[in-house]
Amino acid sequence: MNLCMIGCSHKDAAIDVRQQLAFDNRQTLEALDCWRSKFPNSELALLATCNRVELYAAGATDSEELTGALLDYRNVSSKQVEGHLLTLNDSDVVRHLYRVTASLESMVVGEPQILAQVKQAYQSAQDVGSTGPLLHDLFQSALRTARRVAGETKLHKHRVSIPSVAIADLASCVFESFDDKHVLVIGAGEMAEETLRYLHDVGKPHVHVINRNAERGKKLASQWAGQYHPWSELWSQLVEADLAISTTSASEPVVTAEKYDELVTPRRHQRALCVLDLAVPRDFDATIADALGVYLYSLDDLAKVCTDNQSARAAELPKAEGIITQETRRFWVDANHRAAVPVISNLRQELERPKKAELERLFQKLPDLEEPVRREIEQFADRLVNKILHPPMESLRDASQEGTPHGLLDAVRRLFQLED
C-alpha cells in the first residue's frame, strides 16, 4: 500500500504561506481534474480550508512528484514554502486524517466545521473521478472515527472561543430557541460577524445592526439577511431586542445605566433581555445587570467559561486519542487483509489445478471405482489442499494483524509463481 499526504496547516505555516497555496471550490475541482490526467494510476483528494491545504494520494506516485504538482499548479517555488510543507506516508497519513477530521488538529480543538469540510473534499474528488477504493475506505473510516470521537467523548460539548461560548453557554441559558428572536448587533467588526455565525448555526433570528459606519453596518446586515439602523435608533432598538450583542471599540460605555433606566426600562415591561457585551472596555454599564429582566454577560464572564471549558476539553483528549489509535490500527489491519485476499485466492487456484488434474488421471486409471469411494478420494484431496494452505494462510493473517504482510505476500507470490 502506498499512501501519501503533502500539505501545510496553521501549525506548519503562517497565513501568507497558506494563502499562496489556497484553493477555492472551483479551483479544487480543476486541480484534481488536472492531476488525475497527470497521475492516472493514483487516487487523489484535496482538502483545502482557511487553515490547511492537504493533498492526499494513494498509488505509485512519488511524494516529490506530488509536491511538484501542487506547487506548480499554484505557481509557487519550493523556496517560498521551504520548511513549511509536511510530508506523511502510510499509517501516518491515516492517523493524521483521522485527527484532522475529529478536530484534534484544528486551531480551536473540537470545532465542528472541519467534519463538513472533509466530507466536501471527498465529494469533490468523487465528482471529478480522482478517488478510488483506497481513498474511499480512508475517508469513510475518517468520518466514522470523527463520529466516534463526537459520540464517545465530550470534546465537542465544551466550547472554547468567545463567540461560541457567548451563544451556546450563556445566551442559550436565557432562550430555549433563537428562532424569530430580535437580535441587535451593536458594532460591525470581526467579533460581531463570528458571533452571528454561531448564532446562525443554532437558530433563525431577525438580525438588526447598528454601527456608526453605515457602510460596514449595512454590509454586515446584508450578509445575514438583516436590517441596518442608524446610530440614532440605538435606544428604540434596545426596547425591541431580545438579544443584544455589543462589540464596539468605544472608550466609554455606549449604554449608560442612566439612559437605559430612562429610555428603555419603562418600555420593556420586564421582558427578558440577554446582553453579550464583548467589547473592551465595556459597552454596557455593569449596573444595568440590576435591572429587572436583564441578563448581562461581560467578556470577563465569557473568559471564565472558556477557561473552564478548556480544562474540561483537555480531560477528554486522552479518550479521543485512544479512539484514533484504535481506528488507525483497524484501518491498517483491514487494508492488509484486503491485500492478502487475492494472493490467498490465487494460491488456492494454483493448488486446485494439479488436484483436479491428478484426480482426473486417477479416475481414468480406475474407472470401476464405486461412487462412495470416488467421493472419499475427492474429500481426501480437498483436505490435503486445505492442510497445505493452512500454514501460509495463518502466517498471512498474523502478519496482517502485525501490519507487516507485504514481504510475506511477495515471498508467497515468488514461491508459488503467482500472478499479481
Residues with active-site annotation? 50
Instruction: Give, in degrees to the nearest 5, the angle at Cα 344 between 387 and 389.
Output: 10
Q: Which amino acid is at 281?
A: P
Q: What's the rounded Cα separation, in Å, for the pair 120 and 112?
A: 14
Rg (CA), the chain: 31
Q: What's the rounded Cα separation, in Å, for the pair 214 and 75?
A: 39
Q: Is the dihedral of CA 21, 27, 29, 31 positive or negative?
A: negative
- Contact 31/87 with Cβ under 8 angstroms? no
Residue 62 grid coordinates: 512519488
User: What b-and-e string marks burial along 162-173, b requiring 16 or more CB atoms within 10 Å of the CB?
Assistant: bbbbbbbbbbee
DSSP notation for 294-331: EEEE-HHHHHHHHHHHHHHHHHHHHHHHHHHHHHHHHH
Q: What's the rounded Cα separation, in Å, for the pair 119 and 47?
A: 9
Strand spans (E) along 115-167: none
